[in-house]
Amino acid sequence: MNAKLRNLLLIATGAALFPAAASAAAFSCPTTSDEFTFAQNAQIPGLDPHFSSAISTRNIAMNIFEMLITRDENSAIIPQLAESFDEGDDGMSYTFKIRSGITFHSGQTMTSADVLGSLERYRRVGTSSSVFKNVAGIEAPDASTIVITMSKRQPTFLEDFSSFHIPIAIMPASEAEKPANKIDLIGTGPYSFGEWVPDSHVTLKKFDGYVPDSRFEGTTGFGGYKQACFDTITVRIVREPSARAAGIESGDYDGVEQVSTKAAARLKDVEGVIVMKQENFSIPIMIPNTQKAPTDNLMVRMAMQAALNMEDIMETATDGAYSLQPGFQYPGNPSYTDAAKELYNIADPELAKKYLKEAGYDGEEVIIMTNTDYSYMYNAALMVNEQLKDIGMNTKLFVTDWPTTREIRANKPDDWNFYFTGWGTGPSIGPRDAIKDLLPPINSQNLSEEDVEMTKLWNAMHEEPTAEGRLDAFSDMTQHLYEQVYQFKFGDMHNFQAIRSNVKGFVPYRIPRFSNIWREG
């Protein structure tokens, strides 16, 4: 048995990971309170966890839903709703045993039929359904067992299956039959869905029937032993950065998703407020539309790549909370590569003008679509607009909100040339999640036909038998994405969150975790 498989099996059984869990005291809420109010940056495009890669969706959904397996604080695979999971000796099957006594928010007991329905729904409507591309079939041989059979061995399957980028959330089988964004939000998490008032707030309610995972002592990543210490969680949509800062200072909010660099410097000296910095929180990035002129022309995209000064863009976007490097993984990560560094931050306007001339650019309009929900995206777009004007491009800023931006990007290819987003969760999970938005079915850059080389490299990133081979494929993929100019990575952005000082147990993570936090006094 190889070391990787042995580690996975140890994790699955808990034999090595939780040796003291049975004897140590699990978390218990020191106090309980009525309401916790959290200010979130952006509007929510939808709350169906299978159908959105938006962090504004995940912030809510991951406190309602759970997965069979998930990731811990260091992104290692751990069980959640699975009691155990086992990879067959030939790597062609995976068997999951399901924890007993788990109930949905509806009061229904979870069985393998619900898990089967959820997995099949994800295959059908999931935004990242490619997770199942090498799956031949899924069966539920009894009420507590799920067996996944592969059509081809995929060494990365459990890594992809446990990804929370677009989580494979488990829901009742009755919901699993429904199309995208049409489900009732019924999960197994410590909080159940209350209400959603678009552009205003979402409320979550403490689920008294929640069964904590006794293999753990406290939260870790998206899993662990979780308890709801508030009766209600209210997530308010507060798009204006100054309003979030004012609200945490006044005590109107117990926590905020993000404060600006300048506000963080001021708030750290405010009594009653704690500011927390998250290094390498997100990759601000601009995606071109490869179907719409003039960005359908590779030479035009190369001109833009040559023109952009990433330092000026990141300084404007983040008020100095950034670092520059070309990779889609953060330095120090085992998967980090600086491939294509020669094509990053070229900042050569004269070269850009030369490329534009060679491309035959003749003043065609370039629509730069951004949003006001995420200030760093909006500010980056302002600087990009100026830099492209400086090389003679006819640019037009199109500013809307975040849900509308995502809708237009996906369904109205004639309305935009550039789309601004942030790759936050993906890079923290691994190389495949980092770049999957550029691959089908998401296809953010709007390719009209298959890029055969990209497909070949993507398959190699999943199927190469050795970790070294998969990392080589990722390095080659990075080079390809730069050479084809399918993306314009600006840099790595740091983030500042803030909480009131009487809130205890809050640890910044990829989403706000509302379990195991409480108010003191």
Amino acid at 114: D
Give me the mean pLDDT over the 91-110 stretch.
98
CB 467 within 8 A of CB 497: no
Structure token digits, residue 17: 């990971």
Domain presence at residue 9? no
Q: For residues 325 and 465, state if they share a domain.
A: yes
Shared domain check, 506 and 440? no
User: What pLDDT is attached to residue 14?
Assistant: 41
- 18 inside domain: no
Strand ranges in 23-111 using DSSP code E only, listed in sequence order: 33-40, 69-71, 77-79, 82-87, 93-98
- From the list 222, 278, 180, the residue with the least C-alpha distance to 59 is 222
Query: pLDDT of 357-403, one tens digit each?
Result: 999 999 999 999 999 999 999 999 999 999 999 999 999 999 999 99
Q: Which domain holds residue 212?
A: 33-238+501-519
pLDDT tens for each residue of 320-356: 999 999 999 999 888 999 999 999 999 999 999 999 9
Token readout for 427 is: 């890079």
Do the bridges between strand 219-220 and strand 77-79 make them parallel or antiparallel, or are there none, so unpaired?
Answer: unpaired
Query: For residue 56, what are the contacts with CB-CB under 8 A and spacing of at least 6?
Result: 40, 41, 42, 43, 44, 45, 373, 402
Provide the β-strand partners of residue 369: 398, 419
CB atoms within 10 A of CB 35: 12
**Number of domains forming the structure of the chain:** 2
If you count DSSP H runs as helices and E runs as strands, how many of each does the chain have, helices first? 16, 22
CB 436 within 8 A of CB 128: yes
Task: Please indicate, yes or no, whether residues 38 and 55 belong to a single structural domain of this protein.
Answer: yes
Pair 406, 327 in one domain: yes
- 178-197 pLDDT, tens per residue? 999 999 999 999 999 999 99
Q: How many residues does the chain have?
A: 521
| Same domain? 382 vs 489 | yes
Look at the block and give the residue holding tokens 């009487």: 502
Phi, psi torsion values for 434, nearest 5 degrees: -60, -40
Task: Give the whole-angstrom CA distance, residue 190 versus residue 186.
Answer: 11
Nearest-CA neighbor of 233 among 45, 36, 59, 51? 36
Residue 255 lies in a domain: no
| Residues 485 and 505 grouped into a single domain | no
In this predicted structure, which of 49-58, 149-158, 303-312 has the lowest mean pLDDT?
49-58
- Please report the pLDDT score of residue 16 as a whole number: 35
> Are the C-beta atoms of 349 and 389 separated by less than 8 Å?
no
Residues 189 and 306 in one domain: no
Distances in Å between the Cα of 495 and the Cα atoms of 2, 243, 261 are 39, 17, 8
Task: Tell me if 243 is assigned to some domain.
Answer: no
pLDDT tens for 231-258 read 999 999 999 999 999 999 999 999 999 9
Q: Which residue has the tokens 């009420």?
A: 143
User: Hey, what are 379's tokens?
Assistant: 């500010």
- Structure-token pair, residue 140: 């539920």
pLDDT value at position 441? 84
When pLDDT is cut at 50, 70 and 90, the band that residue 153 belongs to is: very high
Contact 210, 190 (CB under 8 A): yes
C-alpha separations of 17 from 72, 80, 142, 341 in Å: 11, 13, 27, 39
> Rounded to two decimals, what is the model's pTM?
0.89
Residues 6+ apart with CB under 8 A from 123: 129, 132, 135, 138
Q: What is the predicted pLDDT for the residue at 24?
A: 61
Question: 511 and 460 in one domain?
Answer: no
Question: What φ, ψ does residue 98 adopt, rounded to 5°?
Answer: -100, 140
Q: Is residue 273 part of a domain?
A: no
DSSP-derived secondary structure letter, 11? H
Shared domain for 331 and 229, answered yes or no, is no
Residue 22 has pLDDT above 60, yes or no: no
Q: How far apart are CA 403 and CA 176, in angstroms?
A: 24
In this structure, the number of other CB atoms found within 10 A of the CB of residue 138 comes to 17
| Radius of gyration, CA atoms only, the chain | 23
Question: Which among 18, 418, 439, 22 has a CA at the least distance from the CA of 220?
Answer: 18
Per residue in 398-432, pLDDT tens?
999 999 999 999 999 999 999 999 998 889 889 99
Give the sign of the dihedral formed by CA 339, CA 340, CA 345, CA 348: positive
| CATH code (residue 426) | 3.10.105.10
Give me the mean pLDDT over the 47-62 stretch: 93
Sheet holding 145-150, edge to edge: 82-87, 93-98, 145-150, 135-142
Indicate if 442 and 337 belong to the same structural domain: yes
In the chain, what percentage of residues exceed pLDDT 70? 95
Same domain, 479 and 511: no
CB 300 within 8 A of CB 282: no
Q: Are residues 174 and 228 in the same domain?
A: yes
Q: Judge whether 335 lies within some domain.
A: yes
Average pLDDT over the chain, rounded to an integer: 93
**Region 107-121: what's the mean pLDDT?**
98
Calculate helix-pair angle for 375-390, 310-318, nearest 10 degrees: 150
Over range 294-302, report the average pLDDT: 98
**Strands 145-150 and 93-98, sheet pairing:** antiparallel
Residue 513 has pLDDT above 90, yes or no: yes
